[in-house]
Amino acid sequence: MLGFTLSKINLLIFVVAVFSIVLFFVFSFSQILVENIANDYVRIHAQDAFTLVGSPTLCAAQIHYLKDSIEASSGNSGRGLYYVLNIKQGTGKNGLNKMIFALAPRRTPETYMAAASFDTDAKMNFFDFQELITANPSKINIYDSNTMLDPQAKTQIDAYVLLKEVNLGETTIYVIPCSNRGGSDCSTLMGIAGQKIRPEGFNCSYEN
């Protein structure tokens, strides 16, 4: 009887061990898949920005909508990895600026899991979402460091306008955060940002 009980316990231990190993590999594979998808995601954003900056137009703008989450499976059910996207400026080679798209889990925004970048001679100006929605020019600043996008914020910062202007041979990139689902219309916030730059605003409208 004791031997039978011990054999059952050993079998249970074996089953639990096998299940734990399988679960570990499934989790690890899912994590790798999410990281690969995240890298592809930021690469697309960086490539779109690179194309816009390199275009021959003197003024051009594009709006980019963010996914709710990064998911290992197809679709956008909102059950995947919640994230923040930090669009920021860094130092490139040979005196150039570097435009960086860095993605991090929302719970650890300081730990990036995916990033893509390109070097450019363009200046970069970033706006803050909370300042823009006040619509008060005295409370709106122009930053040269970064802007943070958060699709899961109380008011979702789930889109941004990327605008390029060339003035007297100098190219400037503006990153304007906005909310596709939160009621802060991107064209409105782009107009507010433009009026902060100059009274007449920007000279171009965005493309969807």
In a domain, 198, yes or no: yes
- What average pLDDT is seen over the chain? 84
How many separate domains does the chain show? Answer: 1
In a domain, 4, yes or no: no
pLDDT of residue 9: 60
In a domain, 125, yes or no: yes
In a domain, 147, yes or no: yes
In a domain, 6, yes or no: no
In a domain, 11, yes or no: no
pLDDT of residue 1: 54
Range of the domain at 103: 29-207
In a domain, 2, yes or no: no
In a domain, 9, yes or no: no
How far is 65 from 149, CA to CA, in rounded Å? 11
Q: What is the arithmetic mean of pLDDT over 10-39?
A: 58
pLDDT of residue 5: 57
Terminal-to-terminal C-alpha distance of the chain: 74
